[in-house]
Amino acid sequence: MTRAAVSATLLVALFSFVLGQGERPAPKLELKDVEGRALRLSDYKGRVVLLNFWATWCAPCRAEMPDLVKWQREYKGKSLQVIGVTYPPEELTEVCEFIKSIKVNYPVALGYEQTKAMFDKGETLPITVVIDRKGMIREVIQGIIFPEEFEQKVRPLLR
């Protein structure tokens, strides 16, 4: 085997390895938002989507939401789309009251345990799924998403 062939093989292997690091197409997801309207993930193709799983009873979830609101406002022009998905058990009135109180500026859908399980099998909340413009899952950020993580894992996709 020539040196070029070995290099090519290595490159292909490396490429496969990099691609294998969590990148997969986002599943088809259709939910109802808090006002009962249909919300389809596929409608946001072409945008960088942050799919944020949260619950009103989860203190870290509530703590990170003002940052999500801020990022949605600042990067809307760069095609960032935050989508909130609640995790049960939830009470619709509490969800509505909370998102109103912090002026959430992105859609919030009512999710189920199975919805979160499509992206992450763990128990941690919140989680934020980073989906690129092509609809590929680039990252599943477990726990609260801190500003430095946004800078490192989301900002590069917005360029």
Partner 1 sequence: MFNIQKAVSRLNFAPKLNEIEITDIKNGIGAFTPKAEKPVSYAALKETLKKAGYTLASAKITVNGKLSRDASGWALLSDTSGQRFALEGEGVELALPDVSPNAQVEVTGDWKTGGEGKEVISPLPAKKAARSHNENGDNPAQTEYVDVTSGGPMEAGPPPVAPIRTTSPGLTVYRGGAFTPRYIYLRQTLAGLKVDRHIMLLDFSYTPTPKLLVEAEIPVTRISFKDGTTSGGGEGIGNVIISGKYRFFRQVEAWGDRQAALRFGLELPTGNKGAPDEQQLQAPAFVRQQLSPISGGLSPHVDLTYSQAKGRFIFGGNVEGVLRSERDGFRMGHELRVNTDLEYVLFPRKYDRPGGEVFAILESNFIRRGIGRVAGAPVPGSSSTEYYLAPGVQYAMRPRFVIEASYQIPVARNTEPQVLRIERGLLVGVRLLY
Per DSSP, 154 falls in state I
Please say which residue, 26 or 99, places its beta carbon nearer to partner 1: 99
Task: Report d(CA 17, CA 73) in Å as an integer.
Answer: 35
Grouping H, G, I as helix, E, B as strand and the rest as coil, residue 56 is coil
The H or E element spanning position 158 is: none
**What x/- string results for residues 38 through 67 when contact with partner 1 is judged by CB under 8 A?**
-----------------x-xxxxxxxx---
CA separation (Å) from 27 to 2, 48, 133? Answer: 41, 15, 14
Q: Which is nearer to partner 1, 11 or 102 (CB)?
A: 102
Residue span 139-158 as binding mask against partner 1, x where in contact by CB under 8 A, dash where not: ---xxx-x-x----------
Taking CB under 8 A as the binding criterion, the range among 7-15, 23-31, 74-82, 89-97 that sits at the site for partner 1 is 89-97
35 is a contact residue toward partner 1 (CB under 8 A): no
